[in-house]
Structure 1
Amino acid sequence: MIKYFALGLAVLSATAAGAQQARPLYQNSQAPTEARVQDLLGRMTTAEKVGQLSTLLGWEMYEKAGKRVTTSAAYRKAVDERHIGALWATLRADPWTKKTLLTGLNPTQAAEATNALQKYAVEHTRLHIPLLLAEECPHGHMAIGTTVFPTSIGQSSTWDPALIRRMAAAIATEARVQGAHIGYGPVLDLAREPRWSRVEETYGEDPVLNSRMGVAMVQGFQGASLKSSANIVSTLKHFTAYGVPEGGHNGGSISTGQRELFQSYLPPFRASVKAGAQSIMTAYNSIDGVPCSANPYLLTEVLRQQWGFQGFTVSDLGSISGLVNNHHVAATAPEAAALALNAGLDDDLSGYGYDKELLAAVEQKLVTAEALDRAVGRVLRVKFEMGLFENPYVDPARVAKQVHTPANIQLARQVARESVVLLKNEKDLLPLAKTLQRIAVIGPNADNIYNQLGDYTAPQPESNVVTVLEGIRAKLPAAQVTYVKGCAIRDTASADIAAAVAAAKQAQVAVVVLGGSSARDFKTEYQSTGAATVTAGGQQVSDMEAGEGYDRASLDLLGKQQQLLQAVVATGTPVVVVLIEGRPLNLNWMAAHVPALLDAWYPGQEGGHAVADVLFGDYNPAGRLPISVPKSVGQLPVYYNAKRPTTHDYVEVDAKPLYSFGHGLSYSKFEYTDLLISPVETAGAVRIAVRFKVKNTSARLGDEVPQLYLSDDVSSVVTPVKQLKKFQRLTLRAGEQQEVAFELGAEDLMLLNSRMKWAVEPGSFTVQVGASSEDVRLRGQFTVGHAIEDIAW
């Protein structure tokens, strides 16, 4: 009996061992990631590999019948026949997708939908490969029921990377619990062309500020581990130099030298890659004749060989086929697919740039098996590192407790408050007294929820968004608050300026809320990329004058807004202008005639509360401009860190912006003293310690943002007149003084010399410390005695 029992154990043991051996290595969670990737690649057909590089439009892939959500026939066909590896914007809702609050998915349904999609992919494919689900996440997950934060231009106006990291972590959690794995963002394009439609999506004109914000977003999105149920992959956009198109035309070509490319446009991407970003999106534009989606120098030599990037690259929507249709650098679609993949572009956002065209390229021997495996391996690697093979599903029961939480709503209010920039406050008109009894709230952006949310925003229940009018009424419930819209943003067919004048005459103060709009509507026509189709003088007049595709020829207030403002000012009632906008606009007249100006950009769902907090002194503003405000489009470009020589004035106007980069006022006053600069040089290294003191000399607690700018006094190549290097947002009590300590290193001092090598050159440098790029309070110099050459970058 014992002998037979032992024999039975041996047979069972052998069977178990055989089963263990039969299990594919790629399904072993304990195996090294690279071994799993190679094992899976070895089992895949060419068609399956090509399918993994297709990211299709996701909102077409589910069906909703009442409360029940299932996969669509289109999705099942895409999986069965095309072996797709990813979806994009599955949970997106907006006029382009035609998903509304009724036809789209609430957060719990979203989790159920992504589970259904994953279940089909895992159970109905030969190798059981899960999906990657990418979503738009620039200022909140672009899905129904999520928290809407200020757009990126407002985020950078906080000059508070720690706060933005917290915001990014909240966005990541809201997306991941619904089944998303990738968040498109941050947008790291330098916005040096304010006519361009997508300024609101950027962090402004400066590479250092953009870098700090980009790193904060990457760290917030990705956290400590991508296997966490609260983190997502960060996709950097748009690689590269996309924000300075000629004429402001979205996606247009740009002109820049290689030195400027490396010194200005690439640093935010490099910093974010070094912070661990796992994905990067190519830009639509070309640089020096080479489209970014087929540029091996950028995608392979710079990104991977120089920077050590280990993640995967993805095209912008339709940019691979754009190599044929837009750039005309490929004659056929297979040639375009080959150009992109061979250059180092791994993933196709569209599903029609690679797919059958890439299969044809392989058959025509335009793409090698090795090149295909390289791209597929990069996508699979992320799936393994996120733990999707072991756990592709989410728990719908958790979603309601983690999306649009009270904590996230409060965080949205804090980001909005910190983003508000006080441009002007003549005779301390602000803060307004809470004893006011009669207030007129006037203007097209005073009570329009979508106008204050920006582009890439899902439909919102009205109860989710607090407008400026609602914020003021909530702040002063006993006051008589009279609202008159006055006019639209763009439409000149009708206006009620007379009613606005009457309301202002009866009020103690008039708050006039003007600006722009990126609010999409169902009347607008859209291109296949999602950008709006805009024609001059079109019959349909929406409010939208910014947002993707809405490039401007001027920066003037549109519609009858200027007439409205002038009529209200003419009443003699004190006026405060609140700007809600996506780009710098022409503020010349109001800067000369209105005593108080606030710029709130697109402040998100809590914008009304945030603006009211600032207007009535419950929050002391400290936002700083991340982009210069020009006096005229004729000055453009007018960014602060232009290269020498310094600009000279025009016949009609001087060369300075109306409001400079870094500008922003406070209800407090601050004094800068005791600048101390201490350079220390060692072999191959330099450290410059910069110390100074900042004192709140007022009777009110407030934030200040000390900024350190550096000038290389004499250099072998032309350098900027000044360049931001360090900044810090401080909170100081009334009368409090704090010492600020910054340290500059070789990377802060180096330039790209005539041999295209990074080096620190001997000589003198000037340090400027102050409250903006123009408001310099302290100056000092230091000297570097020894060169540091061939610095790795």
Structure 2
Amino acid sequence: MTDIIDSSVTDAAASGTAADTVDPTYRNAALPVDERVENLLGQMSLEEKAGLFFQTMIAMSQDGELAAADPTFGLESNEAMVIGKGMTHFNVLGSAPSGELMAAWHNKVQELAATTRLGIPVTISTDPRHSFSDNPLAGMLSGPFSSWPETVGLAAIRDEALVERFADVARQEYTAVGIRVALHPQVDLATEPRWGRQVATFGEDPELTSVLGAAYIRGFQGSELGAASVATMTKHFPGGGPQMDGEDAHFPHGREQVYPGGQFELHLKPFEAAFEAGTSQIMPYYGMPVGTEYEEVGFGFNKSVITGLLRERYGFDGIVCTDWGLISDSEIFGQPFPARAWGVEHLTPRERMVKVIEAGVDQFGGEAIPELLIELVESGEISEARLDESARRLLREKFVLGLFDAPLVDVAAAGIVVGSEEFRAAGEAAQRASITVLTNTEITNPVTDAATPTLPIATGLKLYVEGIDVAVAAEYGTVVATPADADVAIIRTHAPFEVRSTVFENFFHQGSLDFTAEAVAHLREVAASVPTIVDVHLDRPAILTPIVASPGAPAAVVANYGANARALLDVLTGAAEAKGRLPFDLPSSMAAVEASREDVPFDTKDPLFRFGHGLSI
């Protein structure tokens, strides 16, 4: 695909004010990037600089036109954000029905940005969009994009080349619609089994995470960042996994990160691999470190971590963007939601903003208050020279990504690239490959008295199913209404979680990993009447001990990490090979989880299944 710039866009940018007030040198693609940056920066007003520092959600229309305000999510219109606030970085929320419509919307936003005085193009970012998932906080719905397993499912496949291939596919689909920053990968180590965000990690092992995280970055960015790249914002520095009791730092009760095993350094290993791979951006997590040498404030406010560790020890000179909502209180789903200002709750938003800037951060995620930053500079609390330091990084990436030279995308090409047959097939193959067979007991044939493994099952059997669309199951056998009528039962379920008090927190699956007694009893009841296969979605390492313990255990137990019903049934019937291996230990009990140390991998006593377990069938 070739990106084509419409000359009218650059003409509009140049005509935003009298011709002699803007020096167009920065638009000369033949000049070195640093020269272009300095030329543009020297012409920017304080207001224009401040607009660079804020990246928040923006609404996407469904029809390819500019989007109006969205009161449901508290989003202003596209015009209010780009023209009214002068912002140029946005995390796009939602999706359009097709790649063409997404690309058309993107071009409208760029054309809007081109009407500003300097015509600084917009950078569009996104959370993950390619995972087969019904959890909107585990990953954005894939919409027209190809559909793959969750990141932890890619880890289950353990194929470095496949991860790089996935990221390259995602890069092509993103760039086709104008998305140029990936707010991922998430290279946190999933060392706390209860943590609600591990589904987007590469699991528990630091070596595997390092290898696959680097491959992911290479697939998105290439050997170096350029006009065909998607910049990666690797998160959450210095590792968000060691959450106290597994509670997530989005919430006040999860604000503390703890290191009872003294393994702070271990959580840095995947980031070292990310730096080696050239990640363009870093996002620190919300959590505040407790009992370490570092200041006990959230990482986004933490100068000892951002400047001392990230900038000075590792020499990272890329963009650092905070996680969303460190400065301002907000409202989510109609409920109050405090700023994640852990350790500095007592500070005013003004004071918090100063502390973030002084920590060495370049950009505020989830905030849209450039007027406050302007006030801080005008009052002398933040120097304009300090703004320039971050503005150079932010502008440089726009130039390196080619946004000034080719801000528009080819709408027709987007329809061909996004969700192409090749990409969808690759994603579905990965879904099948990620499925992990945990148990596969032998069943004795009452006629021949021969014992054979449950899996694979034959096609054409009478099937009793739960959690599977009947029409899909009917492609593999005859669907019956009760277990008693079936040759085999197939039940899809998910790792358990606790119901919490707010709508927003319930998007995070947290708390106990134990199945309820009712859930276990139901599975055993079905298994008692017919050979039963249980498939568990492991967005967290569920405790399967009461399910797999005999007598009364299902004939087979498998795990998925985001796979559609056909992917599962292809594996169960032997049409596709089960290649998945566990990306983390599966604990044997909640007592073992509660006794484990949050920062130490593989620390639960006597796990039921070990990291790397998986049977071939």
- Same fold (TM > 0.5): yes
Task: Please report how far the alpha carbon of residue 51 of structure 1 lies from its aligned counterpart in structure 2 after TM superposition.
Answer: 0.7
Matched, 1:599 2:558: yes
Any idea what the Cα deviations from partners look like across 1:145-192, whole Å, max 9, x if unmatched? 112211111111111121111111111211111111111111111112
Write the mapping of 1:536-555 to structure 2, written as runs, cut at 5 A: 547-548=507-508, 550-552=509-511, 554-555=512-513
Q: Return the alpha-carbon distance in structure 1 between the equivalents of residues 340 and 421 of structure 2.
A: 49
Aligned residue identity for 2:461: Q
- Contact kept? 1:423, 1:596, Cα under 8 Å: no
Name which of 73, 76, 79 aligns with 1:76: 79
Q: Return the alpha-carbon distance in structure 1 between the equivalents of residues 599 and 539 of structure 2.
A: 23
Most deviating of 305-314 and 144-153: 305-314
- Contact kept? 1:623, 1:664, Cα under 8 Å: yes
Task: Please report how far the alpha carbon of residue 323 of structure 1 lies from its aligned counterpart in structure 2 after TM superposition.
Answer: 6.7
Matched, 1:41 2:5: no
Give the TM-score, by structure 2 length. Answer: 0.83
Q: Return the alpha-carbon distance in structure 1 between the equivalents of residues 236 and 600 of structure 2.
A: 24
Q: Return the alpha-carbon distance in structure 1 between the equivalents of residues 119 and 605 of structure 2.
A: 62
- Contact kept? 2:582, 2:611, Cα under 8 Å: yes
> Whose strand proportion is higher, 1 or 2?
1
Q: Return the alpha-carbon distance in structure 2 between the equivalents of residues 291 and 396 of structure 1.
A: 42
Task: Please report how far the alpha carbon of residue 430 of structure 1 lies from its aligned counterpart in structure 2 after TM superposition.
Answer: 3.6
Task: Please report how far the alpha carbon of residue 337 of structure 1 lies from its aligned counterpart in structure 2 after TM superposition.
Answer: 0.8
Any idea what the Cα deviations from partners look like across 1:483-527, whole Å, max 9, x if unmatched? x5xxxxxxxxxxxxxxxxxx2222222222222489x9xxx965x
- Contact kept? 2:585, 2:607, Cα under 8 Å: yes
Secondary structure, aligned partner of 2:429: helix
Task: Please report how far the alpha carbon of residue 131 of structure 1 lies from its aligned counterpart in structure 2 after TM superposition.
Answer: 0.6
Any idea what the Cα deviations from partners look like across 1:285-313, whole Å, max 9, x if unmatched? 11131211012232223223332323211
Q: Summarize the Cα distance change of 1:24–1:437 in structure 2 as closer, same or farther, 3 Å threshold.
A: closer
- Contact kept? 2:514, 2:590, Cα under 8 Å: no
Any idea what the Cα deviations from partners look like across 1:309-336, whole Å, max 9, x if unmatched? 2321111110244778543355221211
- Contact kept? 1:48, 1:82, Cα under 8 Å: no
Q: Summarize the Cα distance change of 1:365–1:23 in structure 2 as closer, same or farther, 3 Å threshold.
A: closer
2:445 maps to what in 1? Answer: none
Secondary structure, aligned partner of 1:89: strand
Write the mapping of 1:400-479 to structure 2, written as runs, cut at 5 A: 400-427=415-442, 429-434=453-458, 437-441=461-465, 443=466, 445-447=467-469, 472-474=473-475, 476=476, 479=477
Task: Please report how far the alpha carbon of residue 480 of structure 1 lies from its aligned counterpart in structure 2 after TM superposition.
Answer: 1.8
Name which of 625, 630, 637 aligns with 2:582: 625
Secondary structure, aligned partner of 1:266: helix
Matched, 1:236 2:248: no
Q: Summarize the Cα distance change of 1:617–1:556 in structure 2 as closer, same or farther, 3 Å threshold.
A: same
Q: Summarize the Cα distance change of 1:68–1:379 in structure 2 as closer, same or farther, 3 Å threshold.
A: closer
Q: Return the alpha-carbon distance in structure 1 between the equivalents of residues 159 and 594 of structure 2.
A: 26
Q: Whose RCO is larger (CA < 8 A, sep 6+)?
A: 2
Task: Please report how far the alpha carbon of residue 226 of structure 1 lies from its aligned counterpart in structure 2 after TM superposition.
Answer: 4.4
Name which of 478, 490, 499 aligns with 1:511: 490
Task: Please report how far the alpha carbon of residue 610 of structure 1 lies from its aligned counterpart in structure 2 after TM superposition.
Answer: 2.1
- Contact kept? 1:471, 1:611, Cα under 8 Å: no
Task: Please report how far the alpha carbon of residue 562 of structure 1 lies from its aligned counterpart in structure 2 after TM superposition.
Answer: 1.8
1:275 maps to what in 2? Answer: 277
Bigger-Rg structure (1/2) = 1
Any idea what the Cα deviations from partners look like across 1:695-753, whole Å, max 9, x if unmatched? xxxxxxxxxxxxxxxxxxxxxxxxxxxxxxxxxxxxxxxxxxxxxxxxxxxxxxxxxxx
Q: Summarize the Cα distance change of 1:514–1:162 in structure 2 as closer, same or farther, 3 Å threshold.
A: same
- Contact kept? 1:640, 1:660, Cα under 8 Å: no
1:565 maps to what in 2? Answer: 523
- Contact kept? 2:192, 2:598, Cα under 8 Å: no
- Contact kept? 2:147, 2:428, Cα under 8 Å: no
Any idea what the Cα deviations from partners look like across 1:379-403, whole Å, max 9, x if unmatched? 1111000011011000111111111
1:339 maps to what in 2? Answer: 355
2:137 maps to what in 1? Answer: none
Any idea what the Cα deviations from partners look like across 1:521-575, whole Å, max 9, x if unmatched? xxx965xxxxx144xxxxxxxxxxxx43x322x212258432221111222x222
- Contact kept? 1:138, 1:184, Cα under 8 Å: no
Q: Return the alpha-carbon distance in structure 2 between the equivalents of residues 401 and 89 of structure 1.
A: 21
Task: Please report how far the alpha carbon of residue 117 of structure 1 lies from its aligned counterpart in structure 2 after TM superposition.
Answer: 0.5
RMSD, matched Cα: 3.0
Q: Return the alpha-carbon distance in structure 2 between the equivalents of residues 150 and 50 of structure 1.
A: 38
2:31 maps to what in 1? Answer: 31
Q: Return the alpha-carbon distance in structure 2 between the equivalents of residues 558 and 308 of structure 1.
A: 49
Aligned residue identity for 1:387: G
Aligned residue identity for 1:390: D
Name which of 102, 125, 130 aligns with 2:116: 125
1:189 maps to what in 2? Answer: 188
Q: Return the alpha-carbon distance in structure 1 between the equivalents of residues 373 and 387 of structure 2.
A: 9
Task: Please report how far the alpha carbon of residue 363 of structure 1 lies from its aligned counterpart in structure 2 after TM superposition.
Answer: 2.7
2:222 maps to what in 1? Answer: 223
1:615 maps to what in 2? Answer: 572
Q: Return the alpha-carbon distance in structure 2 between the equivalents of residues 632 and 84 of structure 1.
A: 49
Name which of 291, 307, 310 aligns with 1:300: 307
Q: Return the alpha-carbon distance in structure 2 between the equivalents of residues 319 and 403 of structure 1.
A: 34
Q: Summarize the Cα distance change of 1:343–1:80 in structure 2 as closer, same or farther, 3 Å threshold.
A: same
Q: Summarize the Cα distance change of 1:643–1:201 in structure 2 as closer, same or farther, 3 Å threshold.
A: closer
Q: Summarize the Cα distance change of 1:637–1:392 in structure 2 as closer, same or farther, 3 Å threshold.
A: farther
Q: Return the alpha-carbon distance in structure 1 between the equivalents of residues 317 and 275 of structure 2.
A: 9
- Contact kept? 2:155, 2:212, Cα under 8 Å: yes
Q: Return the alpha-carbon distance in structure 1 between the equivalents of residues 418 and 595 of structure 2.
A: 41
Task: Please report how far the alpha carbon of residue 641 of structure 1 lies from its aligned counterpart in structure 2 after TM superposition.
Answer: 12
Aligned residue identity for 2:182: G
Secondary structure, aligned partner of 1:390: coil
Most deviating of 506-515 and 635-644: 635-644
Task: Please report how far the alpha carbon of residue 72 of structure 1 lies from its aligned counterpart in structure 2 after TM superposition.
Answer: 3.7
Aligned residue identity for 1:87: F
Aligned residue identity for 1:343: A
Q: Return the alpha-carbon distance in structure 1 between the equivalents of residues 426 and 406 of structure 2.
A: 30
1:135 maps to what in 2? Answer: 126
Q: Return the alpha-carbon distance in structure 1 between the equivalents of residues 129 and 261 of structure 2.
A: 29
Any idea what the Cα deviations from partners look like across 1:91-131, whole Å, max 9, x if unmatched? x24xxxxxxxxxx4532111111100011101x21111101
1:250 maps to what in 2? Answer: 248
Percent identical pairs in the alignment equals: 28
Q: Summarize the Cα distance change of 1:598–1:232 in structure 2 as closer, same or farther, 3 Å threshold.
A: farther
